[in-house]
Amino acid sequence: MPDNFLKRRDIGKLIASVRDAGGRFVAPALAARQAVYKDISSAEELDDDYILPRNSYKELVFPQTEVIADFTIGKDGVGLKGRDVTGRDTVVFGARPCEAASLESLRSVFTWGFIDEFCTKREDRLVVITIACTKADGACFCTTVDLSPKSVTGSDVALSETDAGDYLVHSVSEKGKAFIAKHSDVFKAKPSADAVVKPIIMPERIKGVDLEKIKKFLSDTAHYENPVWPELTRKCIGCGACTYVCPTCHCFDITDEATAYGGKTPFEGERRKNWDACQFDNFTLHASGHNPRDTQFKRWRNRFMCKFNYYPKKFSSKGCVGCGRCIRVCPVRLDITEVMEAISKRP
Ligand code: SF4
Ligand code: SF4
């Protein structure tokens, strides 16, 4: 039984309530004719016809670029002053279950030894409201990585859509319960008696994929130079698009940028944290000129290793949640599931 009920017509009231309290309300809405997660201020902006927004909402906790410190260079040396973590209470509405599961993956990395509060403090203030999938496309493969279109991992509140476009509401976390209680004028206590839940679309599990076999193959360092890598991934052009849209990819770089023209003196600037990508040819370039991943297939192999070997060994969270975004955006149609199948068939 659901805990509560949300009428479609009350979403506008929820948006106003969150924003009036100083928070952000982020949901799938159209931009350049594609569904993307973005800040919205009215229910009319919501896109009702999306499968998965083009971008990942990881940028709500891990922005593409942000200033983490300010520096000055003076006669007495270099001064560095860290920035406080910014961010507001944020609600992401209409997230898909695959993506919600990826938040756990980001937290695993950003709390692994060192706590990256730029990420964790934002996540603490994020309420994730998922909607179980009633649509899928050929790129969706959540079931192949042991998730499902109705998984609640990473959700605070999980919704199931009804035929009338309203929602049955399940609170998943304490944060979710508190959110529902705070907005009890919107989340009604009882579902309508005639509420019929839309059927969930379950992507078929890819039969040829065996995650355990993949992990075993990847664990054997003798397979690093296996010809399978150049054979399967030679067409990758290293654009990095797959990593930028991936909800679990988390690589970043730190750069110091002088603010000579905007600052008071030429000797001050900002330290920035920027998204980076293991698919870029200079990602592992050493100052000596040596590059341990000097060809594209090695870079692609690394990304695959990260998802299906390093992550499952180090963390209980998933390296890949089967969202299929990397398949949809890849300009050369390099399909990660084809590589998963090919590796699964190897002895
Ligand atoms: S590797 Fe591809 S399918 Fe897996 S989580 Fe990342 S974008 Fe989604
Ligand atoms: S796999 Fe595709 S999207 Fe990813 S870097 Fe290579 S060409 Fe770009």
Task: Answer yes or no: pTM beyond 0.85.
Answer: yes
Q: d(Cα 257, Cα 263) in Å, to the nearest integer?
A: 11
Q: How far is the CA of 179 from the centre of ligand 1 (A)?
A: 29
Q: How far is the CA of 342 from the centre of ligand 2 (A)?
A: 18
Give kind and range of the element (H or E) at residue 338. helix 336-345
Which amino acids bring their CB within 6 angstroms of ligand 2?
236-242, 279, 329-332, 334
178-184: Cβ within 8 A, 24+ apart: 179/91, 179/127, 180/3, 180/4, 183/14, 183/17
Which atom of ligand 2 approaches the CA of 336 most closely? 1
Give the per-residue pLDDT at 263.
Answer: 58
Give the per-residue pLDDT at 265.
Answer: 67
The DSSP bridge partners found for residue 28 are 37
Dump pLDDT digits (tens) for 97-139.
999 999 999 999 999 989 999 999 999 999 999 999 999 999 9
Which atom of ligand 1 approaches the CA of 327 most closely? 2
Tokens of 87: 């961010």
In sequence order, which residues have a C-beta less than 8 Å from that of residue 181 and are 6 or more positions away? none
Is residue 98 lining ligand 1, measured as CB closer than 6 Å?
Answer: no
Give the per-residue pLDDT at 343.
Answer: 96
Give the per-residue pLDDT at 194.
Answer: 73
Q: How far is the CA of 328 from the centre of ligand 2 (A)?
A: 10
Give the per-residue pLDDT at 262.
Answer: 60
Q: d(Cα 86, Cα 279) in Å, to the nearest integer?
A: 29
Is residue 325 lining ligand 1, measured as CB closer than 6 Å?
Answer: yes
What residue ranges of the chain have pLDDT lower than 70? 1-2, 192-193, 260-266
Residue closest by Cα to atom 2 of ligand 1: 326
